[in-house]
Every structure is written in C-alpha cells, then in structure tokens.
Amino acid sequence: MNLDGLRVISVDPSLRSTGLYCNWKDSSETISCKSASHVGALFHLGNVLSSRCIGADAMLVEDYAYGKAGMSKSLTSMGEVRGVITYIAKKENVSIFPVPIQTWKSRVPKLPRKVNTKSGLMEYARCASEAYHRPFATPDEADAFMMFDAVRTLLQVEPTHKLSVLMTEILLGGLQFVSE
C-alpha cells in the first residue's frame, strides 16, 4: 500500500491556525483564523477546508494528544475543530484517517522543540524547511507536510501497519467513511 496516485490532503488541526498539505498540488498553506470569534473561526475553517478538499481521495488528520495534563479546554475546542473537519470530509466524500501524533512525529528529523513564541515558532518552521528542502511559512504547514511524508514512508516500509490495512480497506471500497 502506498499513497502514489492518491490525492491526499494532510491536516494539522487547530482552531486558530490549521496547517494543510495537498500532495497533488505539492502545496502547503495555513488557514489562519486569529481575528474571528470562536464560532466564526470554525465557520472559516470549514469554508476554506471544503474548497481545498475538492478532488481529494483521502485526508490525514493529526489525532488528539490524549491524556496530556491541563488539556481539557483545548480538547473541547479540538473536538469542535475535529467535528468541522469530519463534517467537511463526509460532505466532500473524502475518506478521513486520524494519525496519532507519535505515529508521525517519531518518523521525522529531530527538530527544535516548538516554543510558543513568535521567534520559537519561526525557528521551528525554518529548521523544518532546511530538513525537507522546501519553504514553510508556519510550523502548522511544516507539520502537515511532515505528517504526510511520515505516513507515506510508513506505508512503504511497514505495509502491515494498521493504518495501511485500514486505508487499503477504505480505498478499495470495503468501507466508505471512518469516524472514531
């Protein structure tokens, strides 16, 4: 199983700054919703994502960091974001695959830890750009691309991985849609 020939959109989700990578366009972008209200940000994310999903076969979405201390408010917000993403995938008839954070982060080059300051985030994006020899404007774009690249590599190296088996079933028509 591999991703060759499939149109895959990779999503690093967040309410205010969602990273996207589309393999068939070889493009990365950030959906930024910093000035909108919470509900406005969700609508903006849905509208932009819907337009980017046209023609996609599959969507890789970074899964939650379950069990992380002090994350209950963030998980609630991420649940809403994930709901929008899942709705758009279903509406656009795109198969969705949650990718656990450690599944992809363990397969990328060692980068500096993301420090939540403007300079720290830009340093992370710069290091990712150097490691992959491609420009990333934000860490979110970098993460979306790196997740796609890690899953592509995983599916080539470990074809019996459960994500590969699930993708094979869905893309060969065994299942139409996956939700958690």
Task: Render the burial of 19-48: b for 16+ CB within 10 Å, e for the rest.
Answer: bbbbbeeeebbbbbbeeeeeeebbebbbeb
Strand 8-12 to strand 58-62: parallel, antiparallel, or no bridges (unpaired)?
Answer: parallel
pLDDT 10s digits, 119-175: 888 888 999 999 999 999 999 999 999 999 988 887 776 655 565 555 655 454 443
Q: How many CA atoms lie within 13 A of 22 on its CB side?
A: 14
The pTM assigned to this predicted structure is: 0.81
Structure tokens at 31: 């959906």
- Domain-embedded: residue 178: no
Per DSSP bridges, beta strands 27-32 and 58-62 are unpaired
* Domain contains 1: no
Evaluate whether residue 177 is within a structural domain.
no
- Residue 160 in any domain: the answer is yes
Structural domain contains residue 23: yes
Q: Is residue 153 situated within a structural domain?
A: yes
Q: How confident is the model at residue 176 (pLDDT cuts 50, 70, 90)?
A: very low
Domain count, the chain: 1
Q: What is the pLDDT of residues 61-89, one digit of tens each?
A: 998 766 665 556 677 788 899 999 999 99
pLDDT in tens, 7-37: 999 999 988 899 999 999 999 999 998 766 8
For residue 22, give its domain range.
8-171
In this structure, is residue 110 part of a structural domain?
A: yes
Mean pLDDT of 99-103: 81
Q: Which residue has the tokens 């959906």?
A: 31
CA distance 90 to 44: 17
146: its two tokens? 């790196």
CATH number, domain of 53, equals 3.30.420.10
2 is a domain residue: no
User: What was the pLDDT predicted at 44?
Assistant: 92
